[in-house]
Chain A
Amino acid sequence: MRTAHELTVENDGIPDTLTLTRGVMRAEVVREICVHLEPYQTGEKPITGETVIAKDLTIDSLAIMDMVMELEDRFDVSIPMSVIAEIHTVDQLADTIRDLSANPS
């Protein structure tokens, strides 16, 4: 039988997510990125956080920038081109969007 203490521990993640009312859930960002990248997947290798977007997939640089534009509008952030140039992996892109979403200025 679980104790009250254990239940509190189990729910420990909840307050964290509630404080993010300004921003977006990182998992949601990753999910959205994967939807955009799916058409460019090669072979059986799944798209993960470590996937290097320009290298592991068949997407070209222009299509990456167009995808970023869609993500910008979906999450209401703007990512400067110089920042995009420094992003290599799905994780980096997701973190950038989450951070901009939490702190827009």
Chain B
Amino acid sequence: MGLFDRHAGLLEAYRDVRTTGYDPFQIRMERVLSPTKAIINGRETLLVGTNNYFGLTFDPSCMEAAIEAIRAEGTGTTGSRIANGSYTEHVALEKEIAEFYGKKHCMVFTTGYQANLGIIATLAGQGDFLLIDADSHASIYDACKMTQAEVVRFKHNDPSSLEARLRRLGDKPGNRVVVLEGIYSMLGDSAPLREFVDVCKKYGAYVLIDEAHSLGALGEHGRGLCESTGVIDDCHFIVGTFSKTLGAIGGYCVSDDPDFDILRVTVRSYMFTASLPPSIVASVRQALRVVKAKPELRTQLWNNVATLYDGLKAQGFTLGPEHGPVVGVHLPDRMTAIGFWRAMLDAGIYVNVAVPPATPNGVSLLRCSLCAVHTKEQLDHMVEVMTGIGRQFGVLPNQPALRAAGAR
């Protein structure tokens, strides 16, 4: 068998995808103009699939902080956190994130992926039990491949399914670590965290929550689902990323556990990679200040979510179960999703396309993510464009949807 023969099935599926003319997985941003605009295929395109929830990638104060840091400390650290890569600013960033959550400890990683990978694989060891949501992100699944713990999946967002699995463990020795996400990245739905926490308390399980898509978006101060559901103190480990709301790259984990810092010399994805460059550390610290100082960005984000979600819903699209900064639009199959995606790009709107096996339950999705600085006009236009394409593709009925009495 040849090296690449095992990918034959995937190659075939990928060839199908490319028959549409564009390859959705090799899109070039020829020039990014702003958090919501870029030149793609030579034309100015509206970006509605970039996870840039607060639009901070072009925030002047964040950009200035990054430029200043480069001038002061250079372009990179060229070393890991346990060697020459821990600068005063890395430590300051960790302190600021810990304070943001009211937790004692924080570790900063070079990517969010590495934070989940290293923390989850290391926390649960030989003889322990790792219980993960079925719709978990790839970084969590990859951690499960690395861990020595026994891994069991429970049904997505189903506390009773988790409870059944904790109950079955009975009085077996070993720690129980439950892994959840604040907002799930494909359909934008949130975990019923309070109910999950109650189950975890009943069975003495540790709770780890990944707030990658909920940082900034949820909670009075933007701490995420752990804040909006009032259970920060019951979440033993909170993981997150700098690459979405904070507009850069990197990951973190906060905790109150007194022995947390031992992870700095046990988590390999922390120890054996170069630390974040000074420019990133500086822009992230500034972005965190902006998140704290401008709660109106959160309000704008949710207003935009409502405009897009309610607009598409009113036209008859099948969407994820609830409002979220990610709006997942269900399409009947892979080829319709790819064709729809391409028609949108031709109309000057970029979203993500997500198809099996990267999606839960084999669904095909257009994955839209909102930005606080999208305008209502941009999103109204997007609903119009998608409605037109939806009718063309037979995804929507050809007659305009009748509005139910009382609908907006």
Please name all residues of chain A whose beta carbon is closer than 8 Å to the beta carbon of B165 when the two chains form the complex. Answer: 72, 78
| Interface 0/1 of B352-386, CB less than 8 Å to A | 00001100111000000000000000000000000
A73 to B169, CA, bound (A): 14
Would you call B362 and A105 a contact (CB within 8 A)?
A: no
Would you call B151 and A82 a contact (CB within 8 A)?
A: yes
With A60-B356, A66-B134 as known contacts, state yes or no: A77 contacts B152, CB within 8 Å.
Answer: no
Please tell me which one of the listed residues B155, B169, B362 contacts residue A60 in the complex, with CB atoms under 8 A apart: B362
Tell me whether A61 is interfacial, beta carbon within 8 Å.
yes
With A61-B357, A65-B134 as known contacts, state yes or no: A81 contacts B362, CB within 8 Å.
Answer: no
Please name all residues of chain B whose beta carbon is closer than 8 Å to the beta carbon of A43 when the two chains form the complex. Answer: none
Tell me whether B144 is interfacial, beta carbon within 8 Å.
yes
Please name all residues of chain B whose beta carbon is closer than 8 Å to the beta carbon of A73 when the two chains form the complex. Answer: 161, 164
Would you call A82 and B150 a contact (CB within 8 A)?
A: yes
The interface size bin for chain B is 20 to 34
Tell me whether B403 is interfacial, beta carbon within 8 Å.
no
| Interface 0/1 of A42-65, CB less than 8 Å to B | 000000000000000000111101
Would you call B153 and A65 a contact (CB within 8 A)?
A: yes
Would you call A81 and B357 a contact (CB within 8 A)?
A: no
Tell me whether A69 is interfacial, beta carbon within 8 Å.
yes
Please name all residues of chain A whose beta carbon is closer than 8 Å to the beta carbon of B172 when the two chains form the complex. Answer: 105
A9 to B83, CA, bound (A): 75
Please tell me which one of the listed residues A72, A81, A82, A104 contacts residue B170 in the complex, with CB atoms under 8 A apart: A104
Tell me whether A80 is interfacial, beta carbon within 8 Å.
yes
Would you call A60 and B357 a contact (CB within 8 A)?
A: yes
Tell me whether B408 is interfacial, beta carbon within 8 Å.
no
Please name all residues of chain A whose beta carbon is closer than 8 Å to the beta carbon of B170 when the two chains form the complex. Answer: 104-105
Tell me whether A28 is interfacial, beta carbon within 8 Å.
no
With A73-B161, A105-B170 as known contacts, state yes or no: A80 contacts B152, CB within 8 Å.
Answer: yes
Would you call A69 and B155 a contact (CB within 8 A)?
A: yes
Please name all residues of chain B whose beta carbon is closer than 8 Å to the beta carbon of A61 when the two chains form the complex. Answer: 357
Tell me whether A38 is interfacial, beta carbon within 8 Å.
no
B-side interface mostly: mixed
Tell me whether A99 is interfacial, beta carbon within 8 Å.
no
Please name all residues of chain A whose beta carbon is closer than 8 Å to the beta carbon of B252 when the two chains form the complex. Answer: none
Please name all residues of chain A whose beta carbon is closer than 8 Å to the beta carbon of B134 when the two chains form the complex. Answer: 65-66, 69
Please tell me which one of the listed residues A66, A81, A104, A105 contacts residue B152 in the complex, with CB atoms under 8 A apart: A81
Would you call B168 and A78 a contact (CB within 8 A)?
A: yes
Please name all residues of chain A whose beta carbon is closer than 8 Å to the beta carbon of B361 when the two chains form the complex. Answer: 66
| Interface 0/1 of B124-138, CB less than 8 Å to A | 000000000010000
Q: In the complex, which residue of chain B has the Cβ closest to the Cβ of A66? A: B134
Q: In the complex, which residue of chain A has the Cβ closest to the Cβ of B132? A: A81
Would you call A77 and B154 a contact (CB within 8 A)?
A: no
Shortest distance between the CB of A13 and any CB in chain B (Å): 29
Shortest distance between the CB of B70 and any CB in chain A (Å): 43
Shortest distance between the CB of A30 and any CB in chain B (Å): 22
Q: In the complex, which residue of chain B has the Cβ closest to the Cβ of A70? A: B155
A/B interface sample: 22 pairs, CB < 8 A: A60-B356, A60-B357, A60-B362, A62-B357, A65-B134, A65-B153, A66-B361, A69-B155, A72-B164, A73-B164, A78-B152, A78-B165, A78-B168, A79-B152, A80-B150, A80-B151, A81-B151, A81-B152, A82-B150, A82-B151, A104-B170, A105-B170
Other than the known A60-B356, A82-B151, what 18 A-B pairs have Cβ atoms closer than 8 Å? Answer: A60-B362, A62-B356, A62-B362, A66-B134, A69-B134, A69-B155, A72-B164, A72-B165, A73-B161, A73-B164, A76-B168, A80-B150, A80-B152, A81-B151, A81-B152, A82-B150, A104-B170, A105-B172
9 closest Cβ pairs, A-B complex: A81-B151, A80-B150, A78-B168, A78-B152, A78-B165, A62-B357, A60-B357, A80-B152, A80-B151
